[in-house]
Copies of this chain bind each other. A is one copy, B any other.
């Protein structure tokens, strides 16, 4: 018999936290009903009331990841133009433990995403949203004279997202080589060259 509805919400929150801990430690490859059940100290059978299939569990994990990303603390955006572009790029990087864990889980989600047309399109749209979020600030930078008058905000937005996510990868795989100061200096230098 499934648990009563009143238990359901708080149990679901427990499940979400357990899913997150499994993902952070083992990645999507280690995300199984058994691993989450062990993490929660409950039976796999109980968990199957919530996630009848592996795919349902993965879908929930992606929801948890989206929510964690949407709720992450962000740097202030005090002004328009390149200063805001800089802040937005820094917010994408694995600076600090929470941001490293979140990025690690995102990277881990891509194996499955590339093998599933719906998930692939979803990640493609996430990238499109990142570019769209940067674009107005690049336009403002151009209008403020921080960028050349013929700057192409669409291309620069794609280049900035590329730079930031490629830096995410190098920093995740070699954190000692990319401490916070190095990541920040690279962003500063990159934003500096946009104006060239």
Complex contact B123–A159 (CB within 8 A): no
Interface hit among A4-12, A45-53, A77-85, A106-114? A106-114
Q: A85 to nearest B CB, angstroms?
A: 14
Does A177 belong to the interface (CB within 8 Å)?
Answer: yes
Complex contact A27–B174 (CB within 8 A): no
Q: A178 to nearest B CB, angstroms?
A: 8
Q: A29 to nearest B CB, angstroms?
A: 5
Complex contact A29–B115 (CB within 8 A): yes
Using A127-B169, A158-B186, A196-B196 as known contacts, say yes or no to A115 and B25 having CB atoms under 8 A apart.
yes
Complex contact A173–B120 (CB within 8 A): yes
Bound: A167/B131 CA distance, A: 12
> How many chain copies?
2
A104 partner residues in chain B, CB cutoff 8 A: 114
Interface hit among A68-76, A135-143, A187-195? A187-195
Complex contact B163–A169 (CB within 8 A): no
Complex contact B29–A155 (CB within 8 A): no
Bound: A127/B170 CA distance, A: 7
Chain B residue nearest in CB terms to A169 = B165
Complex contact B173–A123 (CB within 8 A): yes
Interface string of A140-181 (1 = CB under 8 A from B): 000000000000100100110111111111101110011000
Which of A164, A173, A178, A185 has most B Cβ within 10 Å?
A173
A114 partner residues in chain B, CB cutoff 8 A: 27, 104, 107-108, 172-173
Complex contact B162–A27 (CB within 8 A): no
Complex contact B124–A174 (CB within 8 A): yes
Task: List 9 tightest A-B contacts by C-beta distance, closest first.
Answer: A196-B196, A162-B166, A166-B166, A124-B174, A108-B111, A165-B166, A124-B173, A27-B115, A162-B167
